[in-house]
C-alpha cells in the first residue's frame, strides 16, 4: 500500500506519531486495557480508535464519567504510560510513512505533532532510531486545546517558520485530520492497522 500525497509543493511535513509514524496503537491499547482493568473500567477497541488523538487525561476523565467511576486520573495515566514504555521493544514503524520521511529528510523540515506526552513520543521515536529526523516535537504538554483544535499544528508551523498552507500533515485519526483542516493545512490520512492489512 502506497500513501497518495495531495498535489502541491510542500515546504514542511508535520507527522502525528502514534498510528502514523509508529504502529503503536495496538501497544497503546494493551497498556490501556491493562491499566484500566484493576478499576473494572472497560475501554472498547472501537472507541479507542475513534478517540485517537485525544490527550490521555481527557480519555480517563471521559471513561470515568461514562461508566460512573471515580478513576484516579494521574495514577491511571502514569501506569498506562509505564506499561506502554515497557512494550516499546515490540514497536514497529509504519513503512509507508517511513518511505516519505526517508525521501524528504534533509530537504525540508519535519515536526512531530502528537496528543501523547513527550516521554511517550521520545520513547517511541528513540526505539526506532528516528528521533534525530525531526526538527521539533509538539507534544501534549505544549498546548492547551487538543485536536481537533488546530493549535498544535499551528505551533509546529510557527516553530519551523513555515506558513501553514505550505505544511503537509500526515495523520491517522479523524480528529487529527479535522485539526489539520482547521489549521489550513492539506493532509494525508494514514490507514488504521486493520485497514492496512487488507
So which residues are the catalytic ones? 16
Place of cell 481527557: 58
Residue 143 DSSP SS3:
coil
Query: CB of 128 within 8 A of CB of 31?
Result: no
Residue 113 DSSP SS3:
strand
Contacts of 15 (CB under 8 A, 6+ apart): 21, 97, 101, 110, 111, 112, 113, 134, 169, 170
Angle between helices 73-86 and 25-37 (to 10 degrees): 130
Angle between helices 56-66 and 73-86 (to 10 degrees): 120
Cα distance between residue 120 and residue 170, in whole Å: 19
Cα distance between residue 188 and residue 15, in whole Å: 10
Tell me which residue of 135, 133, 187, 182 sits closest to 161, measured CA to CA. Answer: 135
Amino acid at each position: 500500500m502506497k500513501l497518495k500525497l495531495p498535489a502541491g509543493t510542500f515546504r514542511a511535513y508535520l507527522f502525528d506519531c502514534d498510528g502514523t509514524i509508529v504502529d503503536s496503537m495496538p501497544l497503546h491499547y494493551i497498556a490501556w486495557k491493562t491499566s484500566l482493568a484493576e478499576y473494572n473500567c472497560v475501554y472498547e477497541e472501537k472507541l479507542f480508535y475513534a478517540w485517537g488523538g485525544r490527550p490521555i487525561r481527557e480519555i480517563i476523565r471521559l471513561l470515568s464519567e461514562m461508566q460512573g467511576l471515580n478513576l484516579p486520573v494521574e495514577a491511571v495515566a502514569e501506569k498506562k504510560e509505564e506499561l506502554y514504555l515497557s512494550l516499546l521493544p515490540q514497536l514497529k514503524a509504519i513503512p509507508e510513512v517511513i518511505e516519505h520521511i526517508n525521501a524528504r529528510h534533509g530537504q525540508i523540515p519535519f515536526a512531530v505533532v502528537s496528543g501523547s506526552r513527550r516521554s511517550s513520543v521520545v520513547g517511541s521515536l528513540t526505539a526506532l532510531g528516528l528521533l534525530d529526523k525531526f526538527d521539533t516535537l509538539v507534544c501534549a504538554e505544549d498546548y492547551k486545546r487538543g485536536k481537533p483544535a488546530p493549535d498544535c499544528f499551528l505551533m509546529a508551523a510557527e516553530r519551523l517558520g513555515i506558513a501553514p498552507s505550505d505544511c503537509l500533515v500526515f495523520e491517522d485519526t479523524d480528529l487529527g485530520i479535522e485539526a489539520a483542516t482547521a489549521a489550513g493545512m492539506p493532509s494525508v490520512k494514514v490507514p488504521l492497522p486493520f485497514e492496512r492489512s487488507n
